[in-house]
Structure 1
Amino acid sequence: MKIKLVSAALAMCFSCTGYHAQAATIVDAKTIRITGPANDYLQIAELVAKDYNDANVAPTAATSAFSNYPNSDPNYYGPQNLVDGVVDDQDDLYHSAGTGPNEFAQLTFAAPQSLSSLTLFGRVVLATGRNIYNVEIRNAADALLYSGTFDARTAPATVNFDVAGPGVPEPATWAMMLGGFAFAGAASRRRRSAQVRYV
């Protein structure tokens, strides 16, 4: 009985501190890399990366790309079009010049960013497998913060990240946690004194 009480109290405490199962929390993101289908071109109309103030920080990042072939028209299809604010112009997007798994587009932030969401817009006039993206977000030490697949064939694809990171709990959380431990201790003392009385 005592073990059950303590376990319940500990579960209550840890559920209050944010140590429960949760979606990815993106803190200190340095790069966002997008790859596409293994046997097709990579095309992205726009990338929107919002911080916790709901501001799109993607335009603050440097854009780059790797393609197996030189791009024939970088003004129309270059990586700068990832963050130009145009989401529905078929000629104002990033489009790789080659195909294959080595093709990628990338955003690199000058200062690490904490992200609340990421949205990718596919090419409106061509809702094919080219609008399915593999995304990796990494920090400055190149540690993987997030990896996932976005399907933007028929609509923009968005993933929302947890706002609360696993950092230091807030004062209210500490109070709840200490209250849980106090409850466990009081229950344990009550149980012990009841056993002593009836022995």
Structure 2
Amino acid sequence: MRPLKKAIFAGALLATSSFSHSGLIGVQHVVITSALAAMGNSEGYIQVGEFEAFETGSGINVAHQANGGSASSLSFWGGHPPMQAIDGDFSNIFHSRGNTTSEFLRVDFSAITELSSINIKGRSTGFNHRDLFNIEFFDASGGSLYQALNVDARNGLTTFGLPNTKTDPGSVPVPATAALFLVGLAGVTASQSRKTKKA
């Protein structure tokens, strides 16, 4: 294989690897709030029967407490603490004590991860009209990566896929782009050098 062709082939492999991800990259924690509270509705209690977050590739639910997930909140009602939202038991719920915009359910992962999708289940025993959520995804420094508004779990379990961080061509990492360019340049230089020697 000629040097230029080798360079193009190597560059193609590099470009392919730079697009190998297929989810939201760099997620450290998620914050769930009530969409109704944000609208000023007095029914803005947070009720979460279960929250699941699936790692890209492995499909592991990294939110589950058995996989290192942890949950916290501003308050909770009676015997419905935040950890009940990530315990794998769909029959119990987390329930906030308050109904204002200051209430939240936060789920932290044991490591920074790439997520492909999430599931969220609301309350199945009445009052499910409250189960409209805003869900925000954060990186390790507390920066917002993505926000999903008005996620509707009023009819049970809701699943939705997360955006592919690498979908936008403008999001291709600069180091990968530079490396691709250098590989191509090296191939052209080698090809020209070979032609000069033959002459």
TM-score computed with the length of structure 2 as normaliser: 0.65
Tell me, in whole angstroms, the C-alpha distance in 2 between the residues paired with 1:162 and 1:99. Answer: 30
Equivalent in the alignment of 2:73? 65
Deviation (angstroms), 1:128: 3.4
Tell me, in whole angstroms, the C-alpha distance in 1 between the residues paired with 2:160 and 2:176. Answer: 25
Which amino acid is the alignment partner of residue 121 of structure 1?
K
**Ranges in structure 1 where 5+ consecutive residues have no aligned partner:** 1-12, 179-199
1:152 aligns with 2:156: no
Tell me, in whole angstroms, the C-alpha distance in 2 between the residues paired with 1:169 and 1:162. Answer: 21
Equivalent in the alignment of 2:93? 93
Deviation (angstroms), 1:125: 2.2
Deviation (angstroms), 1:129: 3.4
Tell me, in whole angstroms, the C-alpha distance in 1 between the residues paired with 2:176 and 2:87. Answer: 38
Equivalent in the alignment of 2:60? 55
Deviation (angstroms), 1:61: 1.6
RMSD of aligned alpha carbons: 3.2
1:30, 1:139 within 8 Å by CA — same for their partners in 2?
yes
Equivalent in the alignment of 1:10? none
The SS at the match of 1:110 is strand
Q: Equivalences for 1:20-31 in 2 at 5 Å?
A: 25-31=23-29
Tell me, in whole angstroms, the C-alpha distance in 2 between the residues paired with 1:72 and 1:162. Answer: 33
Cα deviation, 1:129-188, whole Å, max 9, x if unaligned, reads 321110000001111111012101113122212456344769xxx7xxx7xxxxxxxxxx
1:50, 1:118 within 8 Å by CA — same for their partners in 2?
yes
**Structure 1 residues 111 and 105, CA, compared in 2 at 3 Å: closer, same or farther?**
same
Equivalent in the alignment of 2:113? 113
**Structure 1 residues 82 and 72, CA, compared in 2 at 3 Å: closer, same or farther?**
closer
Deviation (angstroms), 1:114: 0.9
1:17, 1:169 within 8 Å by CA — same for their partners in 2?
no
Which amino acid is the alignment partner of residue 71 of structure 2?
T
Tell me, in whole angstroms, the C-alpha distance in 2 between the residues paired with 1:63 and 1:43. Answer: 14
Query: Which contiguous aligned blocks of 4+ residues in structure 1 show a shift greater than 3 angstroms?
Result: 16-19, 162-170
Tell me, in whole angstroms, the C-alpha distance in 1 between the residues paired with 2:155 and 2:59. Answer: 24
**Structure 1 residues 18 and 111, CA, compared in 2 at 3 Å: closer, same or farther?**
closer
Percentage identity across paired residues of the two chains: 26
TM-score computed with the length of structure 1 as normaliser: 0.65
Equivalent in the alignment of 1:46? 50
1:78 aligns with 2:81: yes
Deviation (angstroms), 1:72: 5.0
1:127, 1:154 within 8 Å by CA — same for their partners in 2?
no
